[in-house]
């Protein structure tokens, strides 16, 4: 994946797992209207990666809201 990302762009990837919806911060959970567990799990997994990448830049606990 790093080979296809433009220079300076941080990326991450992992499998979606059971319980990933628990990685949603409260504000994020409220901004996601999906009720299907699979969709909430996918959103939690994506935000887990994004939160980790932001933490590497010194940004912690920033809610990534769906707009």
**Domains of the chain, residue spans:** 1-67
**pLDDT at residue 34 is higher than 80:** no
In the chain the first and final C-alpha atoms are separated, in Å, by 27
Confidence of residue 26 (pLDDT cuts 50, 70, 90): very high
pTM: 0.85
Residue 64's pLDDT is what? 95
- Within a 13 Å sphere around the CA of 67, how many CA atoms are in the beta-carbon half? 2
Residue 66's pLDDT is what? 86
Residue 18 exposed, middle or buried by CB count within 10 Å (0-12, 13-18, 19+): exposed
Mean pLDDT score of the chain: 93
Confidence of residue 67 (pLDDT cuts 50, 70, 90): confident
């Amino acid at each position: 994946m790093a080979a296809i990302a433009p220079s300076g762009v941080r990326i991450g990837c992992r499998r979606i797992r059971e319980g990933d919806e628990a990685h949603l911060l409260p504000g994020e959970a409220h901004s996601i209207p999906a009720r299907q567990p699979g969709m909430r799990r996918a959103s939690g997994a994506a935000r887990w990666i994004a939160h980790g990448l932001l933490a590497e830049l010194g940004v912690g606990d920033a809610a990534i809201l769906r707009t």
